[in-house]
Structure 1
């Protein structure tokens, strides 16, 4: 048994997992080579030798794992690797994240779209129940006292 109390994968299952990982790596490389252009699911399926549904599942898994793949539905749509630069993950304590939220709330109506987006991400990471209201631009409930040292 594995630590999660599931039976260990059989050699055949391990081979399937390895094939999936290799295929997903190849999928990322195709998207990287074609970036920033979109690539249809059909073309990706042909390149990888799999069904379109397999590509869709792989894209969903990769996006869930944090790979920045944009999806453009409809005619002429497809998948593209988001090539905009982003920061490496930052490990903030809940207190540090809360301090940043307080600072962003203090900026209030003068906040840029980037500042509002950052606040939404921080609130989401903190699992704050008021996050949906904040996204709509609602003011904070109750007084907000700036923290000074």
Structure 2
């Protein structure tokens, strides 16, 4: 791989990691709002990116199955559907290891929920 390709690959990886961190932050901010609508512009300001970037992130999250509702028009925004309690999930060892690996790449302490998830996964695997 030549130097330019390696640099481009490194940059793409860095941008992907930043996107994942930002999307996690969007989910955490929406969760903390307890179902209230948050304006895309306010999220963008808080994350230090453009409104268009946040709108793309929200769309990617929605496409991935995250229950984010978009409220168009004046006073619109986005909100996270209230879920009383998520259903229990059972992972086999390779599935748990895949999640641990993903969190390790992201950074297991990038957010409180990432740290909590890593701790729970590690405890489950350790038995």
User: TM-score, normalising length from structure 1?
Assistant: 0.51
Q: Tell me how far 1:35 sits from its aligned partner.
A: 1.9
CA distance in 1, matches of 2:87, 2:25: 24
Q: Tell me how far 1:38 sits from its aligned partner.
A: 0.2
- Give CA-to-partner distance per residue, 1:23-54, whole Å, 9 cap, x none: 00011111111121000011010011110000
CA distance in 2, matches of 1:35, 1:29: 10
CA distance in 2, matches of 1:51, 1:77: 17
- The structure with the largest helix share of the pair is 2
- Give CA-to-partner distance per residue, 1:82-105, whole Å, 9 cap, x none: 01346579xxxxxxxxxxxxxxxx
* SS state at 2:56 partner: helix
CA distance in 2, matches of 1:39, 1:47: 11
User: In terms of Rg, which structure is larger?
Assistant: 1
CA distance in 1, matches of 2:87, 2:69: 18
CA distance in 1, matches of 2:54, 2:47: 9
Q: What's the RMSD between the two structures over aligned residues? A: 2.1
Alignment of 1:19-98 (within 5 A): 19-85=18-84, 87=87
How many equivalent pairs are there? Answer: 83
User: TM-score, normalising length from structure 2?
Assistant: 0.60
Q: Whose relative contact order is higher, 1 or 2, with alpha carbons under 8 Å and at least 6 apart?
A: 2
- Give CA-to-partner distance per residue, 1:111-147, whole Å, 9 cap, x none: xxxxxxxxxxxxxxxxxxxxxxxxxxxxxxxxxxxxx
Cα gap change, 1:63/1:88 in structure 2, threshold over 3 Å: closer, same or farther? farther
